[in-house]
Amino acid sequence: MPTQPTHPSPQAPHHHSNSRNTHTTWTRLARLAGICGILASLTWLIGDILLLGEPMASPDRYPILSAYSGITGDSLAAMLPASTTRLAWGALLGVLTGPLYLAACWHLYRGLRPARRLLSLPPFLLLATGFVLAPFVHGSFYYWGQAAKAIHASGTGNASPALTALPGDFATVLFIPYALLLACWLIASLWMTVAILRGTTSFPRWMCAATPVVCILIGQLLAKGIPGPAGVPLQGAQLSLANLLFFTLTTLTLWNAHRRTAPPQP
């Protein structure tokens, strides 16, 4: 008995076209989200330069500096000579563009997602938590610097001990979320390294050497390693340099990742 010839379902090409269009849309969104991370990093870099890019003042000119040392003293020494307008724009540029970093975190998740959720979701959540805290830290530098400037303008010698200690109190509160966001990024970097080394993400394996923490170390070298006046504007921009490097690398490596991406694992 002759068999009937089989014909492909007329719906198959349509479904294939829809799947391809959906994949193209997701790829473009991931690219756009990566570009958001680059733009945010550039904007925060400018903000850091405005906040902390002035040559550091000396205690001879600003006696309040004699009460502080380390990171607190260096930060105040860079902000005290800056104008109020400069400090305000430096803070606002970071705070107002903070949501762009959350889009960039989703971009990272898209790159990790071919791996199972246990490997891909925690780095996204941890990194996003850090970027939720970051605008508070960045914006607080304005109030911190303005408080120190007001105490100096009123005469440090006439200020009460409580008023003189105010910048230090601000620093204590500011550094708590700062330390927490760094801890989130450290754990996210370790988790991301494991996911990438397993070879189930869209990232090439060499990206395990370019995690956020590694990029922070590189950012510190760049900020501190440029000698003379050329390095002064970048003296407080380590994290923004790190984020710029990190999201530039992730955007470039994921630009055509859809061509090599395996189906997501459960």
**pLDDT category of residue 64 using cuts at 50, 70 and 90:** confident
* Interval 224-262: pLDDT, tens: 888 888 889 999 999 999 999 999 999 999 998 655 555
Is residue 181 within 8 A of residue 123, CB to CB? The reply is no
SS3 content of the chain, % helix, strand, coil (to 5): 80, 0, 20
CA atoms within 13 A on the CB side of 70: 5
10 Å CB burial of residue 2 (0-12, 13-18, 19+) is exposed
Q: How far is Cα 77 from Cα 5, in angstroms, rounded to an integer? A: 84
Q: How far is Cα 156 from Cα 176, in angstroms, rounded to an integer? A: 27
Give pTM, 2 decimals.
Answer: 0.86
The whole-number pLDDT of residue 22 equals: 63
pLDDT averaged over every residue in the chain = 88
